[in-house]
Chain A
Amino acid sequence: MNAERISAHASMPSKQPLDRRDRGGQAQPLLSVRSLRKHFVIKKDFFGRPVSQVHAVDGVDFDVLKGETLGIVGESGCGKSTTARLLMQLLKPDAGEVIFDGDPVGKPGGLSLREMRRQVQMVFQNSYASLNPRMSVEESIAFGPQVHGLGKKEANARARKLLDQVGLLPNQFASRYPHELSGGQRQRINIARALALEPRLLILDEAVSALDKSVEAQVLNLLVDLKQEYGLTYLFISHDLNVVRYISDRVMVMYLGRVAEMGESESLYNAPAHPYTRALMSAMPSMDPDNRTQTAPLVGDPPNPIDLPPGCRFCPRCSMAVDKCSVQEPELASLNDQQVGSRQHQSACWRAADVQALAATPISEEVLS
């Protein structure tokens, strides 16, 4: 039934309303991911042994702190959505551990999958595909809570309250069907539906990417409001570096199934410590008519994570590579910065310090060598 975890020791100082389900206190990460791995076998030999596999997620470690927004960026195919689906337990990891507020997930004595799924909800890019076309808006939102044991009347009441909160008048929208809504409205419904289960962590996978620019800002404002109101934690996946910078406290940059760089967003944007992060930033279209982009930072398409190069994965495309890079793979390591623990700025690059030194020169003027 509606088994809500109520913790007794809930007296941590916090800017946000403290969740009564909080267990380890504000300092304990809401989510910890350790050595997470998922390979997809795409070709087997005669004996059924894998001969070719996609290293979609290939040893990923990170924490999501309570109440923060962690942004994830990276080119298509680098493993962002696979990471999200592993966290949602929609996919079974090959290896690694997911720890939710101190409890290992899916392990004896830990948090059950069912309980984890209640506390972690996800919103996808395609607002249309994720809604059942034969359910009214109200039914869609009330469905999850009912499955989890809430009575129909209470569930409908919750649905109407949520509709109101995502800015859609219940009287006008409750009985509509998905095809009678605009993209922005459908995405609001998806957000309401995800919130109906009262999750603590919301994973947003390109959730605003398909929206028109004039509607995107509304949904971003809504996400900020809801986070405040419900004390939510967000994992925000997007290809738009401007939006990620706007909304995230910390940012994680992924490349070919691994974390390339991670840090507080201002630190990462002002002084990137991985050549790949720099490349991503200078690939963003310029908004300055007098300062258009002159050269593309990277050549060709993002590679497939099938045949990985030896050494640093970024080496074949890196303009700063040195001999060591093609031999030895750099681990994610902390830079000398002021932050402690999970907030530290980290980079997986042998030349992280050199890269950061470049931040002093504008990207368009420097010569990488």
Chain B
Amino acid sequence: MTAPCVTAHQSSPEQVPLDASSTAEQMVDVQNLKVHFRSPGRFVQAVNGVDLTLAKGEVLTILGESGSGKSVTLRALMRLLPERRTQIHGHIKVAGQDVLAMSRRELSRYRGFTTSMIFQEPMLAFDPVFRIGDQIAETVCRHEGVSHREGLARALELFELVRIPSAKRRLSNYPHELSGGMSQRAMIALALSCRPRLLLADEPTTALDATVQIQILLLLRELQRELGMSVIFVTHDMGVANEISDRIAVMYAGRVVETGSVDEIIRAPRHPYTVGLMQSRASGELKGERLSAIPGSPPDMAFPPQGCAFAPRCSLATDECQQEVPPAKVLGQQHWAACWKL
């Protein structure tokens, strides 16, 4: 078992704990991930064969519309899915560890030490009846076996790290006493409390005003660099993806359909879906012109289409597309797309 930060509590949060057992450059390796939900009368194929890799210190954005399987993919990486109703197939390796094979004890170390997650709704991360400082301290104590006082000191350090003004005073606030941007910062502090090496961020800025969103994006970018973390960031907003990431993976109907550097995806997208997304953006330059919208809407994952899931909406689709799922075609060093017509 790997224990990445057993004695880490004496060091400052700027230091990245090294993991001796894994020297590979790879932080995350997901292969052919499938997640299916079974409930009475319903079978949802939420994720249908996702391949993802993430290098150490890299920021990858999963870009996709609602229901495309972004959150389910992240939750699978954390093993946060309801066990009894969920079937997970494939391989998930994080920092050299097989996530799907972990025991309960291993999981509880894994969550927090190796991987940590932030959400769109910060209030879900905190218990409304306890002070925020105590909750962060408690997490640190539980994971690292330090005293409550040390935990509180770490909480203060973290609040300063995420640039919460009057950090000391804010530690004694209850969750509802913080404004939107501030509680988002507090949640980031909580997520960083055990110095994770991988941060999973599920639309953490979607509910915020643009003026606050940009502050949080810049903060995450800075923290990522300072702490050398690897990050998987989920969003449906291309501008946000551009601001935060090194690489973008575009998801559609439970699959990654295109991956590339930010530059490749934003400037030279190749998959018809990505191209469509880029072209349908409203902007000042297009004033008075019709937008070239993608027709139709994303499929219901209880009834996923045969073959390429984008075929019903794709202007290039032929019979071939409806028969078989297109394989990934390599387009550049880190650029590939899954489409028969490339």
| A interface residues with partner B (beta carbon < 8 Å) | 75-76, 182-185, 212-218, 220-221, 224, 239-243, 245-247, 265-266, 269, 279-280, 283-289, 292-293, 295-302
Give the number of A-B contacts (CB < 8 Å).
144
Evaluate contact between A296 and B215: CB separation under 8 angstroms. Answer: yes
Q: Is the CB of B211 within 8 A of A296?
A: yes
B292 — nearest CB in chain A belongs to which residue?
A217
Q: Determine the residue in chain A with the shortest Cβ distance to B266.
A: A289
Interface string of B275-302 (1 = CB under 8 A from A): 0110011111011001111110110000
B30 CB within 8 Å of chain A: no
The answer to the question of B239 belonging to the interface, with a C-beta cut-off of 8 Å to chain A, is: yes
B209 and A239: CB pair below 8 A? yes
Digit string of B242-276 for contact with A (CB within 8 Å is 1, else 0)?
A: 11000000000000000000110011000001001
Q: Which residue of A lies closest to B294 (CB)?
A: A214
Taking beta carbons and an 8 Å cutoff, which residues of B are in contact with A? 65-66, 165, 179-182, 209-215, 217-218, 236-240, 242-243, 262-263, 266-267, 273, 276-277, 280-284, 286-287, 290-295, 297-298, 313
In the complex, A309 Cα to B292 Cα: how many Å? Answer: 45
Report the 4 A-B pairs with minimum CB-CB distance, sorted nearest first: A285-B239, A217-B293, A212-B65, A217-B280
Could you show 21 A-B contacts with beta carbons less than 8 Å apart?
A212-B65, A212-B236, A212-B297, A214-B277, A214-B298, A218-B293, A221-B290, A239-B210, A242-B284, A245-B283, A266-B284, A269-B284, A287-B238, A289-B266, A289-B267, A297-B211, A298-B215, A300-B165, A301-B182, A301-B209, A302-B212
Instruction: Decide if A242 touches B294 in the complex (CB within 8 Å).
Output: no
- Cα A320 to Cα B291 in complex, Å, equals 38
Q: Name A280's contact: one of B211, B262, B291 (CB within 8 Å).
A: B211
Q: Contacts of A280 on B, CB cut-off 8 Å?
A: 210-211
Smallest CB gap from A302: residue in B:
B209
CB-nearest residue of chain A to B313: A214
CA–CA, A300 and B294, complex, Å = 37
The answer to whether A287 touches B210 (Cβ under 8 A) is no
Contact B280 A185 (CB under 8 A): no
B246 CB → nearest A CB, Å: 10
Tell me whether B211 and A242 are in contact (CB under 8 A): no
Report if A220-B214 is in contact (Cβ < 8 Å); known contacts: A183-B66, A212-B66, A301-B182: no
Cα A182 to Cα B182 with chains together (Å): 33
Q: Which residue of B lies closest to A282 (CB)?
A: B214
Contact assessment for B211 and A285 in the assembled complex, using a CB-CB cutoff below 8 Å: no
- Report which of B66, B243, B263 forms a contact with A285, defined as CB distance below 8 A: B243
CB atoms of B211 and A287 under 8 A apart: no
CB-nearest residue of chain B relative to A208? B282
Known: A221-B291, A279-B211, A302-B209. 20 other contacts (CB 8 A): A215-B65, A216-B282, A217-B291, A217-B292, A220-B291, A221-B290, A224-B290, A242-B282, A245-B284, A245-B287, A246-B287, A266-B284, A283-B210, A285-B240, A286-B242, A287-B238, A289-B266, A293-B218, A296-B218, A298-B211
CA of A245 to CA of B281, assembled, Å: 12
Give the chain B neighbours of A288 by CB distance below 8 A.
242
> Chain B residue with minimal CB distance to A303?
B179
What residue of chain A has the Cβ atom nearest to residue B279's Cβ?
A: A217
Q: Is the CB of B218 within 8 A of A295?
A: yes
Closest approach, in angstroms, between the C-beta of A25 and any C-beta of chain B?
Answer: 25
CB distance B242 to A285 under 8 Å? yes
A48 CB to closest chain B CB (Å) equals 27
Residue of A nearest to B273 (CB): A214
B180 touching A301, Cβ below 8 Å: yes
Q: How many Å lie between the Cα of A280 and that of B165 in the bound state?
A: 22
Residues on A with C-beta less than 8 A from B277 are 213-214
In Å, the complex CA distance between A109 and B239 comes to: 51
The answer to whether A246 touches B284 (Cβ under 8 A) is: yes
Candidates B179, B210, B213, B236; contact of A213 at CB < 8 Å: B236
Tell me how far the C-beta of A221 lies from the nearest C-beta in chain B, rounded to whole angstroms. Answer: 6
Are B283 and A246 in contact (CB-based, < 8 A)? yes
| Interchain nearest-CB distance for B293 vs A (Å) | 4
Which A residue's beta carbon lies closest to that of B235? A285
Tell me if B242 and A246 are in contact (CB < 8 A): no
Contacts of A247 in B (CB 8 A): 282
**A218 contacts B295, C-beta separation under 8 Å:** yes
State whether A283 touches B236 (Cβ < 8 A). no
